[in-house]
């Protein structure tokens, strides 16, 4: 592969993520304005020095809201991926390694779940549990389990037939030791790249749910929710929709460039 | 033929499993629909009567079987909120959503396949790099944001269509299709980028295969190797992915209907979720599952036609 | 006579790294029409690169070629692509090592065999089909109509390679380049392919450039041979000269590395049984044409190994020899019969050194694994034992800190042997331990096993498809076919006076059959 192009991807990805994630991290403790305080005088104010991204229909500072909103979005994404990948890995490891009837049954259900768009699965779960940031995290986490389970299962099914696993068996390693000491480290490459992709999907799914009004609930800010509120003001203040949208694009582009580097 | 029969049976089992899981999920959630219908002041006898009318007094397995039998008779239950048959409620919404899906599928293929093939054909040239860069950015667009951008550019800026100005096909078919082009594009754009990328990667992977070398050794032109040998081999992963993309198109259409103000299945699904109108939610989910399963079935059959190695 | 092929001062360089890497230096070759020339060397010696350059198939942008290649009066090196295409598939044809991947998986055999005709002639489809069927018959395929309508995955490896040869020779080329055409095939099939190439050469007067890592195979087919090492042609001459009077050190080493049957070594060991396999049967459920069929892989197999004995188990792929090895070490459950052995935890060395070491673990970890799981020796003792063992197999202690990816194939196989010996067994089961290695490395690993056998009094069950290797290593030989041991005995009896016809055909394919 071309060295120069690789490092270009890497630098661009890092810059994009730095530009979005650092404000999000700062936003957890400090924002220029209170993201929830309304100010009628500044209603739909355009870009200015005081409000660098302008203000929304309640006069709230868009930049501050993006800072705190992307923080919430990222937290949900981390929770979702952690839940999906850990439970998915455990299910995939056991079913892939042992095979048999249980494997067939679980994978049948898994196929059904996979045929469903994850956002729809999340919709069902949310309609059962109500909306809110923890519900979104839980719903997406469950919706993401099948894809990880399938990937990890495929890896286990492939690796368990390799000679080094047989060799570990002869060396007296038990099933659990083989599964988690011998095989797991070798799924790292596949798992890592699917975690990166999963992270992007989680951000998209959360933003989608919040955009539909059933994700993160006010007063919490969320990039998706901001976009859906901004939609009504496309004529008067297009910037209000552009900034949160561009922030999402930057995060996703950054992650996918970096995951190309790792994968 | 045996292969197709096996896949059809598999699809039916899948649908049954979905119906069971979804029905169970909605049947066991806490809360009494009769109570929420009549309010907390309702008498116990009124509640019991209401439960009987809503069919809630029977045990869950019986309710499931009745519901399932109803589906086969074309009866999807009665909406709590609108007090009318679910079938009537969604009958005119379905064609709109299906049009949107097929429209975006066609757009997706028209955009992605020629560009993916072209970029791989011109690998390592300036035009290839340009396509890659634009593609990367489009791939990162969430569908609702691409919808907003399209509204902003084509609706607000260029005035090609009136944002929110949905016209039903019965009123004016020409304006209907003209309007639907833009939401379909909003769904298709990010998906096209992904398929383009996949087709491009798999074509470039094929270039390194042994049979390509063999084809060259027989005196084939580069074009003959590319179009005669590689394209069919490279299309197989792309077909699988198009199958997966169809599920995403379904999800995308729910969101995009919201952006463009289209009164389709997505809209009614969302309102029903907010109203806790479970019969409608159940029906819409089953419909979406049906669409996903049928398209996946079609993908499996196409795959079998393209790849002789499938048993 | 007019020269068919003239190559002079061919140099090939790669430019994909910062420093250009030369893979072929000053390559010279002359070929007459109808001549068979062998090109021998180990992996990475540049032999395939030279062949591809002659076939006009090296056109990567990051590669530079210098020198001259003249074929039949035409300059191949500086020829524009469209003129080169007129030659390719018509006058120069090439077949490759792996016939499965070299055929287009989604195109029918007939279509692929006819391809050269479609490109270079104006024959009608019916004429093309007639020619293709004839070509398939010429490569001794049966039921050619059915083969014509098959897909590559529906044929066996040997049949696929015949198809490749049919496709290459359909236009009666003047030069056929065969790049390791038999390496991926079974021994008996190998012999058949070599015979077939000889026949084509005789009947059609096609010149053949035969590329192989196997000097003994080359010696059976070619008139002349060239030996290559790391990009250079180190020696060339007639087969007789090279074998009887090699001048270069490397050629001598290569010839010495050819395992040769050594009748002296075959002796009967004392009667002290450490492995007793009795009437073992194994069967699998296998999918054949979409139906689950119970396939008997081992049918009443019995064998005994005495202390200090080296036993060879010979057979072709799919005959059940690996299944037997797995059954002995307990990786494969058996249907009936019994396996009694001295070892509580039998160990085994696998064929592919690239698959048998866990890529995410250091060598030290891999070596200590059996001690950690199966004994209660202290950590300190484990380290000590690992150090001892890595030195015993001829590597230094530093290797304990390395990952498998940093080791060569031969070194990896040494590590595998070391791991199998960590528990101090009396019996080692080795399943094709040297098949994936280059000849000179192969010789070194065999030497190591011989040394371990002598120094530790180790018994070895040596499983191989290669009668030469077995003939060098073992005392007793068992011949296996379709899950049955068809013949067994002292090595000299088997090699000098084979009773079973299958043993005869194996020996014949390996060129070891004594002609009475």
Q: Please answer whether residues B66 and B77 qualify as being in contact, where contact means their C-beta atoms are separated by less than 8 angstroms.
A: no
Is B179 domain-assigned?
yes
pLDDT averages per 10-residue partition of chain A, 263 residues: 62 88 83 74 70 73 85 90 93 90 79 73 79 86 88 91 92 92 92 88 88 81 85 80 88 86 67
CA distance A16 to A251: 7
Lowest mean pLDDT among A166-170, C328-332, C512-516: C512-516
Dihedrals phi, psi of A10, to nearest 5 degrees: -65, -45
- Higher per-residue pLDDT: C287 or C55: C55
What is the structure's pLDDT at B20?
Answer: 87
The residue of chain B with its CA nearest to that of C173 is: B218
- Interchain CB distance below 8 Å, B219 and C87: yes
Q: Which of B213, B215, B219 sits opposite C90 (nearest CB)?
A: B219
pLDDT tens digits along C18-63 = 777 888 889 999 999 989 999 998 888 888 889 988 988 887 666 7
Residues C283-307: what's their mean pLDDT?
82
Residues near A195 by beta carbon (within 8 Å), at least 6 away in sequence: A81, A85
Structurally, how many domains does chain B consist of? 1
pLDDT greater than 70 at residue C215: yes
- Interchain CB distance below 8 Å, A212 and B258: yes
The residue of chain C with its CA nearest to that of B206 is: C104
pLDDT tens digits along B3-37 = 888 888 888 888 888 888 888 887 777 666 677 66
Lowest mean pLDDT among B17-26, B203-212, C298-307: B17-26
- Interchain CB distance below 8 Å, B219 and C101: no
What is the structure's pLDDT at A1?
Answer: 42
Q: How close, in Å, is residue A47 to chain B by CA atoms?
A: 18
Across chain B, mean pLDDT equals: 84
Which helix (H) or strand (E) covers residue C429, if one does?
strand C427-431
- Interchain CB distance below 8 Å, C57 and B214: no
Residues near C275 by beta carbon (within 8 Å), at least 6 away in sequence: C303, C304, C305, C328, C339, C340, C341, C342, C343, C427, C459, C461
Is B14 domain-assigned?
no
Residues C323-342: what's their mean pLDDT?
90
A window 122-151, beta carbon within 8 A of B: 123-124, 126-128
- Interchain CB distance below 8 Å, C120 and B219: yes
Is B25 domain-assigned?
no
What is the structure's pLDDT at C468?
Answer: 86
Is B229 domain-assigned?
yes
pLDDT tens digits along B62-118 = 888 888 888 888 887 888 778 788 888 888 888 898 899 889 999 999 999 899 989
The domain of B134 spans 93-277
Lowest mean pLDDT among A43-47, A217-221, C164-168, C346-350: A43-47
For chain A, which domains are there? 2-262 (1.10.3720.10)
pLDDT greater than 70 at residue B311: no
Two structure tokens written together for C305: 């190994």
**ipTM, interface predicted TM-score of the complex:** 0.81
Chain B residues in contact with C102 (beta carbon < 8 A): 210-211, 213-214
- Neighbouring CB atoms inside 10 A of B228's CB total 17
Chain B residues in contact with C82 (beta carbon < 8 A): 221
Is B107 domain-assigned?
yes
pLDDT greater than 50 at residue C13: yes
Q: How close, in Å, is residue C348 to chain B by CA atoms?
A: 34
Residues B286-303: what's their mean pLDDT?
84
Question: Residue C259 in 3-state DSSP?
Answer: coil
pLDDT greater than 60 at residue C437: yes
CA distance C212 to C439: 11
Across chain C, mean pLDDT equals: 88
Question: Residue A190 in 3-state DSSP?
Answer: helix
CATH code where residue B254 lies: 1.10.3720.10
CA C280 from centroid of its chain's CA atoms: 29
pLDDT tens digits along B231-280 = 888 888 888 788 778 878 888 888 898 888 888 888 888 888 877 788 88
Q: How close, in Å, is residue C354 to chain A by CA atoms?
A: 9
Mutate to test the interface with B, among A19, A66, A119, A122 (most CBs of B within 10 A): A119
Is B76 domain-assigned?
no
pLDDT greater than 90 at residue C462: yes
Give me the residue label for tokens 């074009």: B223
What is the structure's pLDDT at B121?
Answer: 86
Two structure tokens written together for B92: 């005119």
Is B60 domain-assigned?
no
A249 CB near a chain C CB, below 8 Å? no
Is B246 domain-assigned?
yes
CA dihedral defined by A254, A256, A257, A261, rounded to 10 degrees? 130
Query: What is the bridge-based pairing of β-strands C310-314 and C336-341?
Result: unpaired
- Candidates A158, A142, A113, A115; CA nearest to A205 is A142
- Interchain CB distance below 8 Å, C98 and B215: no
């Amino acid at each position: 592969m071309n060295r120069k192009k690789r490092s270009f991807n890497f630098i661009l990805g890092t810059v994009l993520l730095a530009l979005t994630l650092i404000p999000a991290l700062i936003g957890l403790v400090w924002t220029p304005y209170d993201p929830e305080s309304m100010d009628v005088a500044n209603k739909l104010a355009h870009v200015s020095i005081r409000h660098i991204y302008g203000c929304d229909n309640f006069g709230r500072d868009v930049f501050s809201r993006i800072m705190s909103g992307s923080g919430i979005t990222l937290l949900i994404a981390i929770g979702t991926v952690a839940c999906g990948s850990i439970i998915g890995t455990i299910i995939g490891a056991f079913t892939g390694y042992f095979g048999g009837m249980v494997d067939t049954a679980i994978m049948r259900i898994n196929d059904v779940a996979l045929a469903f768009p994850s956002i729809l699965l999340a919709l069902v779960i949310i309609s059962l549990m109500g909306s809110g940031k923890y519900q979104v995290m839980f719903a997406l986490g469950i919706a993401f389990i099948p894809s990880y389970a399938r990937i990890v299962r495929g890896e286990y099914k492939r690796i368990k037939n390799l000679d080094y696993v047989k060799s570990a068996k002869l060396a007296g390693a038990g099933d659990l030791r083989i599964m988690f000491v011998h095989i797991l480290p070798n799924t790292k490459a596949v798992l890592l790249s699917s975690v990166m992709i999963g992270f992007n999907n989680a951000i998209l799914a959360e933003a989608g749910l919040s955009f539909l009004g059933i994700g993160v609930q006010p007063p919490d800010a969320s990039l998706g929710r901001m976009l859906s509120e901004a939609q009504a003001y496309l004529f008067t203040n297009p910037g209000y929709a552009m900034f949160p949208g561009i922030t999402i694009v930057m995060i996703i582009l950054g992650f996918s460039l970096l995951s190309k580097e790792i994968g | 033929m045996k292969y197709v029969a096996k896949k059809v049976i598999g699809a039916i089992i899948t649908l049954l499993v979905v119906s069971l899981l979804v029905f169970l999920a909605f049947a066991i959630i806490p809360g009494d629909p009769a109570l929420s219908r009549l309010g907390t002041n309702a008498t116990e006898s009124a509640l019991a009567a209401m439960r009987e009318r809503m069919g809630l007094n029977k045990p869950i397995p019986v309710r499931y079987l009745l519901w399932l039998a109803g589906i086969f008779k074309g009866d999807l239950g009665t909406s709590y909120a609108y007090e009318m048959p679910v079938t009537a409620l969604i009958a005119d919404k379905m064609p709109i959503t299906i049009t949107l899906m097929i429209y975006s599928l066609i757009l997706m293929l028209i955009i992605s396949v020629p560009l993916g093939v072209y970029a791989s054909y011109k690998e390592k040239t300036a035009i290839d790099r340009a396509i890659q860069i634009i593609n990367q950015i489009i791939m990162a667009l969430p569908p609702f944001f691409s919808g907003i951008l399209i509204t902003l550019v084509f609706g607000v800026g260029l005035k090609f269509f009136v944002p929110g100005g949905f016209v039903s096909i019965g009123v004016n078919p020409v304006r209907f299709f003209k309007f639907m082009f833009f939401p379909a594009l909003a769904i298709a754009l990010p998906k096209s980028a992904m398929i383009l990328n996949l087709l491009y990667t798999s074509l470039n992977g094929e270039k390194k295969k042994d049979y390509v070398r063999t084809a060259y050794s027989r005196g084939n032109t580069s074009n003959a190797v590319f179009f005669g040998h590689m394209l069919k081999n490279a299309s197989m992963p792309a077909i699988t992915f198009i199958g997966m993309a169809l599920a995403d198109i379904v999800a995308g259409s729910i969101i995009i209907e919201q952006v463009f103000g289209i009164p389709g299945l997505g809209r009614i699904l969302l309102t029903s979720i907010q109203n806790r109108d479970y019969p409608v939610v159940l029906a819409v989910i089953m419909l979406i599952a049906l669409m996903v399963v049928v398209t996946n079935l079609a993908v499996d059959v196409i795959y079998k036609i393209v790849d002789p190695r499938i048993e | 006579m007019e020269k068919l092929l003239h190559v002079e001062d061919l140099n090939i360089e790669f430019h994909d790294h910062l420093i250009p890497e030369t893979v072929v230096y000053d390559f010279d070759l002359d070929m007459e029409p109808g001549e068979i020339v062998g090109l021998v060397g180990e992996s990475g010696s540049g032999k395939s690169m030279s062949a591809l350059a002659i076939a006009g198939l090296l056109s990567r942008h990051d590669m530079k070629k210098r020198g001259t290649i003249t074929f039949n009066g035409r300059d191949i090196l500086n020829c524009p692509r469209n003129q080169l295409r007129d030659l390719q598939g018509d006058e120069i044809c090439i077949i490759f090592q792996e016939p499965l991947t070299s055929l287009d998986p989604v195109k029918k055999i007939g279509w692929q065999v006819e391809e050269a005709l479609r490109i270079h002639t104006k024959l009608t489809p019916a004429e093309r089909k007639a020619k293709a069927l004839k070509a398939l018959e010429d490569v001794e395929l049966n039921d050619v109509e059915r083969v014509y309508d098959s897909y590559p995955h529906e044929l066996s490896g040997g049949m696929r390679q015949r198809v490749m040869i049919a496709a290459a020779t359909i236009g009666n080329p003047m030069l056929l380049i065969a790049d390791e055409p038999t390496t991926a095939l079974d021994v008996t099939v190998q012999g058949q392919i070599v015979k077939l190439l000889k026949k084509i050469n005789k009947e059609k007067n096609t010149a053949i450039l035969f590329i192989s890592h196997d000097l003994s195979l080359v010696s059976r087919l070619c008139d002349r041979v060239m030996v290559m090492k790391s990009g250079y042609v180190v020696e060339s001459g007639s087969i007789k000269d090279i074998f009887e009077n090699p001048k270069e050190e490397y050629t001598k080493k290569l010839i010495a590395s050819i395992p040769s049957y050594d009748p002296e070594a075959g002796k009967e060991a004392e009667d002290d049984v450490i492995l007793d396999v009795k009437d073992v049967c194994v069967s699998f459920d296998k999918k054949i044409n979409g139906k689950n069929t119970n396939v008997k892989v081992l049918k009443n197999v019995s064998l005994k190994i005495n202390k200090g004995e080296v036993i060879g188990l010979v057979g072709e792929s799919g005959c059940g020899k690996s299944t037997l090895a797995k059954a002995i070490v307990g990786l494969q459950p058996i249907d009936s019969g019994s396996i009694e052995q001295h070892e509580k935890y039998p160990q085994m060395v696998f064929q592919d050194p690239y698959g048998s070491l866990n890529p995410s673990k250091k060598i030290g970890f891999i070596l200590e694994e059996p001690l950690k799981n199966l004994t209660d020796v202290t950590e300190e003792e484990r380290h000590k034992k690992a150090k001892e063992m890595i030195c015993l197999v001829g590597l230094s202690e530093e290797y304990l800190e390395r990952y498998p990816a940093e080791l060569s194939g031969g070194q990896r196989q040494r590590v595998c042997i070391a791991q199998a010996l960590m528990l101090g067994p009396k019996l080692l089961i080795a399943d094709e331990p040297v098949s994936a290695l280059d000849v000179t490395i192969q010789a070194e690993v065999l030497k190591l096993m011989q040394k371990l056998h002598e120094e530790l009094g180790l018994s070895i069950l040596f499983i191989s498809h290669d009668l030469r290797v077995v003939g060098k290593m073992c005392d007793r030989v068992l011949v296996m076919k379709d899950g049955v041991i068809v013949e067994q005995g002292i090595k000299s009896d088997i090699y000098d006076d084979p009773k079973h016809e299958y043993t005869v055909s194996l020996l014949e394919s390996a060129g070891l059959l004594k002609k009475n």
